[in-house]
Amino acid sequence: MDNLQKLESNIKYKFKDEALLRAALRHSSLSAKTSDSSNRSFDRLEFLGDRVLNLTVAEILYKNFPTESEGDLAHRYTALVCFETCSFVAKNVHLDKYLKVASGTSFDDLRILCDALEAVIGAMFLDGGLDPCRGFVDTHWKDLFLKPVTPPQDPKSMLQEMIQSKGGKLPEYVVMEKRGSEHNPVFSVSVYVDGWAPVKGVGQSRKAAEKDAAARLLELMGA
């Protein structure tokens, strides 16, 4: 059994067109400027898979929780499609073992795993339509659907609410450094809040670095 067959066993879906699965496993750090589709990254598939996942989760919630209000459904939906949940599922199917990335690329930023999982879902949709995507979500999100879920609070929102509740000025985020390649960048961002020394966060996107900085400052504040 080769690697692709092992992954197909993990996700419980056999691809008719293995090229789609291979494309879904190719991170943008390897992407070259070429018209050869075999060298493209999974970004386009991730774009499609994100929409398929959103629709599939919304449909399952609508059918399985007929007495819940729109607000309650939205609460569950947010928790089930967030990047923390997607990266959790990606780890459960051992997706990180099959991704093709440039040397030195780190999986510390869980968004890579989330994006890759959505790319696989996008590839699955193109290969077999919506039904196998429903089956995939039914199988790998099953326990998450059944238990009470709370969407994680964004640390930037938490910090802003805390500061505003005390009448302070909004936090200011400043990019201090951007290093690495275009396809594998590392951002350093500092957050400035009156009364506190600047706190630096890092991440593979500006948004991720801002969240990291906010989370570190909240920890210092004892929140």
Q: Please state the rounded mean pLDDT for residues 33-61.
A: 79
- Tell me what pLDDT residue 152 has: 55
Residue-wise pLDDT for 58-68, tens only, equals 999 999 999 98
Q: Which helix (H) or strand (E) holds 175?
A: strand 172-181
Q: Which residues are catalytic?
A: 50, 118
CB atoms under 10 Å from CB of 202, counted, come to: 18
Give the whole-angstrom CA distance, residue 32 versus residue 47.
Answer: 19
**Structural domains of the chain ordered from first start:** 3-146 (1.10.1520.10), 155-221 (3.30.160.20)
- Tell me what pLDDT residue 141 has: 93
pLDDT at 218 over 50: yes
Cα of first residue to Cα of last residue in the chain, in angstroms, is 49
- Which long-range contacts does 197-201 make (Cβ < 8 Å, 24+ apart)? 200/176
Q: What integer best gives the mean pLDDT of the chain? A: 85
pLDDT at 192 over 90: yes
Residue-wise pLDDT for 170-189, tens only, equals 899 999 999 887 777 889 99
Where residue 32 falls among pLDDT bands split at 50, 70, 90? very low
- Tell me what pLDDT residue 177 has: 92
Query: Nearest-CA neighbor of 27 among 13, 39, 15?
Result: 39
On the CB side of 217, CA atoms within 13 Å amount to: 31
pLDDT at 33 over 80: no
Q: Would you give the DSSP letter of residue 141?
A: S
Give the whole-angstrom CA distance, residue 8 versus residue 19.
Answer: 13
Phi and psi angles of residue 23, each rounded to the nearest 5 degrees, phi first:
-65, -35
Residue-wise pLDDT for 73-131, tens only, equals 888 888 888 888 898 999 999 998 888 766 665 555 567 888 899 999 999 999 999 99
Edge-to-edge strand list for the sheet holding 199-203:
172-181, 184-192, 199-203
Share of the chain above pLDDT 70, in %: 86
- Tell me what pLDDT residue 37 has: 45
Give the whole-angstrom CA distance, residue 197 versus residue 217.
Answer: 9
Please state at what angle helix 70-81 crosses helix 83-92, rounded to 10 degrees. 50
Give the whole-angstrom CA distance, residue 110 versus residue 88.
Answer: 9
Give the whole-angstrom CA distance, residue 38 versus residue 35.
Answer: 9
